[in-house]
Amino acid sequence: MSSGTIPAGHPPSGTTPAPVAELRAAFEILDALIAVRIEERRGGPAGRCLGIDGNGEGLPPLERFDGVGPLAEVIALADLSAAEAVVLVAAIAPLADERFAVRYGALTDRPSITGLTGEVARNLIARSFRGRLDATVLLSAQGRLRSQGLLSLDPPGDLSGSLRADPALVAWVLGVPPEIEAASAGFPARPLTTVHTLDDVVLPAAARVRVDALAARITHRDTVVDDWGFGAHHDNATGLIALFHGPPGTGKTMTAAALAASAGLPAYVVDLSALVSKYIGETEKALAKVFDRAARERCILVFDEADAIFGARTEVGDAHDRYANQEVSYLLSRVEQHPGIVVLTSNLLANIDTAFQRRIHVMIEFPEPGPGERERLWTTVAPDRLPMDRAIDLGEIARRYPLTGAQIRDATLDAAYLAASNGRVVTTEHLLNGIRRQYEKAGKSVPR
Ligand SMILES: Nc1ncnc2c1ncn2[C@@H]1O[C@H](COP(=O)(O)OP(=O)(O)OP(=O)(O)O)[C@@H](O)[C@H]1O
Ligand SMILES: [Mg+2]
């Protein structure tokens, strides 16, 4: 599907019109059409029509799908014909009502089918020889339904295969939240969720300004790219590549997650360790899935520890290196062509290939926090309900210990556990204990 088909942030929580009336009407039309086709197959009176559609196949006219709701919106946006609308509804119907799958069985000579197949779809929309030829073209990879990603045929070249509606589309039309796919070798990305908002991120002024500008750019993307036509007017005008670089624990991943949340977009983190798996030959296929899905669902793609792949390329050495280089080139070109938002995070800017740096639209440095930021971090990482001794001087602690945001969070969490097991109120002593642990973990000595 073109990225314009499903509105961003679908299903818009709370604002989706209840699709019940729309779906009921569409399923009734489908049901009536199935009845006509079954009758025809039994040698009943041919030529019964569900309206005047002009092509003699007895299809309901397109206006019958005019309704208020996501289905009508998809039909209009994708500019579907009556036959295409019927196929789309037929692919979705068994997911809402399993009786449709049973009824489809009567439209094919294959005994057991579990959902819509290409053949059933063809039998549904065509009865004449000419109609069947047209239907075959309509259901091919070049047809609007498949080329726009609304439906897929599995296996692709075989009309006896399953015709499945895009899961995000189904979720949207049925008004349920989309299933989030879990990471696997075939889909090396996991959903990135957060309880944080951008307000929780503590940054020095320079970084803050840039993060806010990026957030605004993401929010106004639809206006500029779609409404004002930049997407259609330029090549690669819709993509946005951002790089967050800085030491570990400074809030890069947190910011990426909070950006997505504030824009109401899902985010996926691409799992690079899964990429360098023994399934290396499958990598391109797996990555293609991630990018396609991200484009369809308008999610933000996050590549953590981007240096691993976007770093200076290795000289061509053994076969494995050559292979890896080929994968890297594929990844780079997909990132560049991606119509959505990609956030890369890295600990060291110098590690990112300079040729690739030129492709990055927004670079934001996440420095180690200074004393002022640290004091704000100590205050914000502690939940409001955490009982704290009033004698604690967070300003003094912040000045004294140059820790990162992640270390301050971990030290506070340690202190909270200590407090829970003795005293029930966090004291300076508990905090100092937590701080000491952070220095031990980093293999450093505690500043005096
Ligand atoms: N700038 C910050 N503002 C607020 N909280 C922060 C900040 N930096 C870190 N934290 C806290 O530390 C946690 C871990 O930070 P995060 O994982 O975002 O760091 P990172 O920069 O991605 O580190 P790495 O380079 O190791 O991946 C955050 O979830 C948050 O609780
Ligand atoms: Mg990170």
3-state secondary structure 214-249: HHHHHHCHHHHHHHCCHHHHCCCCCCEEEEEECCCC
Atom of ligand 1 nearest to the CA of 347: 25
Residue 313, pLDDT > 80, answer no
**202 Cβ inside 6 Å of ligand 1:** yes
Q: What's the confidence (pLDDT) of residue 253?
A: 94
CATH code reported for the domain at 371-441: 1.10.8.60
Counting ligand 1 atoms within 8 A of each CB, the residue from 212, 250, 255, 307 with the most, and so the one to mutate, is 250
Question: Looking at the chain, which residues constitute the CATH 1.10.8.60 domain(s)?
Answer: 371-441
Q: Which residue has the higher pLDDT, 324 or 212?
A: 212
Q: Which of 102-111, 164-173, 266-275, 402-411 has the lowest mean pLDDT?
A: 266-275
- pLDDT tens column, 37-89: 998 888 766 556 555 445 678 898 888 888 888 899 899 989 999 999 999 99
**408 Cβ inside 6 Å of ligand 1:** no
Q: Is 199 helix (H, G, I), strand (E, B) or coil?
A: helix
CA 431 to chain CA centroid, Å, is 39
Alpha carbon distance 38, 84 (integer Å): 20
Q: What's the confidence (pLDDT) of residue 136?
A: 96
**248 Cβ inside 6 Å of ligand 1:** yes
Counting ligand 1 atoms within 8 A of each CB, the residue from 254, 302, 441 with the most, and so the one to mutate, is 254
Q: What's the confidence (pLDDT) of residue 5?
A: 42
Question: Looking at the chain, which residues constitute the CATH 3.40.50.300 domain(s)?
Answer: 189-365
Atom of ligand 1 nearest to the CA of 304: 27
Say how many Å lie between the CA of residue 406 and the centre of ligand 2.
Answer: 10
Alpha carbon distance 134, 49 (integer Å): 18
Domain 189-365: CATH class, spelled out? alpha beta
Query: pLDDT grade, residue 415 (50/70/90)?
Result: very high
Q: What's the confidence (pLDDT) of residue 157?
A: 87
Say how many Å lie between the CA of residue 431 and the centre of ligand 2.
Answer: 24
Say how many Å lie between the CA of residue 355 and the centre of ligand 1.
Answer: 28
- pLDDT tens column, 128-173: 899 999 999 999 999 999 998 899 998 888 999 999 998 878 888 8
Q: What's the confidence (pLDDT) of residue 353?
A: 79
Alpha carbon distance 49, 170 (integer Å): 28
Nearest-CA residue for atom 18 of ligand 1? 251
Q: Is 82 helix (H, G, I), strand (E, B) or coil?
A: helix
Residue 2, pLDDT > 60, answer no
**83 Cβ inside 6 Å of ligand 1:** no
- pLDDT tens column, 143-153: 999 998 899 99
Are 308 and 272 spatial neighbours (Cβ–Cβ below 8 Å)?
yes
Alpha carbon distance 40, 128 (integer Å): 11
The mean pLDDT value for 310-327 works out to 57
**405 Cβ inside 6 Å of ligand 1:** yes
- pLDDT tens column, 338-371: 888 999 998 888 888 788 888 899 999 999 999 9
Question: What is the overall mean pLDDT for the chain?
Answer: 84
The mean pLDDT value for 420-436 works out to 94
Nearest-CA residue for atom 8 of ligand 1? 251
Alpha carbon distance 440, 442 (integer Å): 5
Nearest-CA residue for atom 30 of ligand 1? 406
Q: Which ligand is nearest to the CA of 252?
A: 1
Q: Is 163 helix (H, G, I), strand (E, B) or coil?
A: strand
Give me 47's structure tokens: 């030529």
Say how many Å lie between the CA of residue 24 and the centre of ligand 1.
Answer: 48
What is each CA distance from 19 to 15, 26, 37, 94, 158, in whole angstroms? 11, 11, 27, 16, 32
**407 Cβ inside 6 Å of ligand 1:** no
Say how many Å lie between the CA of residue 210 and the centre of ligand 2.
Answer: 18
Query: pLDDT grade, residue 282 (50/70/90)?
Result: low
